[in-house]
Amino acid sequence: MIELRLPSLGSDMDQGKLLQWLVKPGDLVKKGQVVAIVDTAKAAIDVECWHDGLVHALLTPLEATIPTGSLMAVLRSPGESEESVNRQMAALAVPDESTVVAPDLALAAPAVIQAKNETTRLKITPAARRLAASRGINPSTLQAGADGVVSLAEVEAASGRNAAGMPATPKASRAPAMRKVIASAMARSKREIPHYYLSEDIPFQRASEWLAKQNQELAVTQRLLPAAMLLKAVGVALLRYPEFNGFWKDDSFEAGIGVHIGVAISLREGGLVAPALHDLPNHDIATLTRKLLDLVKRCRAGTLRSSELSDATLTVTNLGDQGVGNVFGVIYPPQVALVGFGRITERAWATNDGLRALPCLSASLAADHRCSDGHRGALLLAAIRELLQEPENLDSFV
């Protein structure tokens, strides 16, 4: 018997509301397949199944709010009999089949329609989904916008305008709830984690020149992003200094399995999330650019996966495009470090040729003193600096 439970969605999201089942009893599912959509204070999350199996029973009713770790469904392993699973469910006091949820798919208007070939999906923002539900509109009947996502505008167009002739708005915003969970997580971080902070000014001329040369031969839509290069440098540096890549759990450091870097992304309605780019050092900068753009787009459209919110082993925040020179972040528990980047700007820099104006940026580290010290933190920042001085070699770490 395989238990499908609501996964951890990060330290600041400890519950979720089931919006949609994308499978039904009797369906075969594959590892990594999205089986449900759960709404949280930050976003609507696609919940993945991490085992091959056959859906035996769905145990969580639609619209139910459940804590992370709750049993959502039971699957049969390949070759396992129905009788065997029923006996195991009885032994665990799992509800029997007479009380198992069998959702009426006609009533459960899907937030994401998944075709049998698993390639056609309707994307809809959480706010648009709630508005559509409140007005009795099936999202599958809505036309997506130019970006392929159904937003408030499309729902409002389908349902008309309010009495004042202004676009209708959802009854409640996600922003206050999001700010509350962020406040709780950050207060916990500063209360429990003994932070220390370091910063390093990094010359960026060689990196800028290399990027410009690479982008000369690429279409505008394929050009490499400086942010992707910075992420790559952090990912490779973490391979050298693994004590910054992991978690503090049960009064000890737990090394991350792989380097999965969370990227802090601001949301249009306010607040932020930090979904992960998995196995980051294994991707070249061009691939990371595509993955980063896709992650930002899906993040702001509300179509993230549960694994993207639970797997990050370190977070990177980049506020350079906001004009910020330096950023000293707060560690996202249970992670043990956060790297920040400021804007790229011309600064006076002493070289063998004398004093020159060079493009530079500031890199910062917030780290947990229980897992590392300032000496090791300085070496991590120095490694990031050195890697950016040889940008042509970064993609060799794949």
Domains recognised in the chain with CATH numbers: 2-159 (2.40.50.100), 178-396 (3.30.559.10)
CA–CA distances in Å: residue 276 to residues 311, 358, 371, 376: 6, 32, 22, 24
Structure confidence by residue, pLDDT tens digits, 352-383: 777 888 899 999 999 999 999 999 999 999 99
CA 352, 354, 359, 361 torsion-angle sign: positive
Buried b (16+ CB within 10 A) or exposed e, 307-345: bbbbbbbbbbbbbbeeeeeebebbbbbbbbbbbbbbbbe
Mean pLDDT rounded to a whole number for the chain? 84
Residue bearing the bigger pLDDT, 122 or 303: 303
Instruction: Return the HEC string of 192-255.
Output: HCCEEEEEEEEECHHHHHHHHHHHHCCCHHHCCCHHHHHHHHHHHHHHHCHHHCEEEECCEEEE
Which of the 8 DSSP states describes residue 279? T
Structure confidence by residue, pLDDT tens digits, 210-265: 999 999 989 988 999 999 999 999 999 999 999 999 999 999 999 999 999 999 99
- The burial class, CB within 10 Å (0-12 / 13-18 / 19+), for 52 is middle
CA–CA distances in Å: residue 106 to residues 102, 131, 335: 12, 18, 42
pLDDT at 78 over 70: yes
Measured distance CA(284)–CA(395) in Å, rounded: 5
**pTM across the whole model:** 0.76
**Tokens in use for 193?**
């984690």
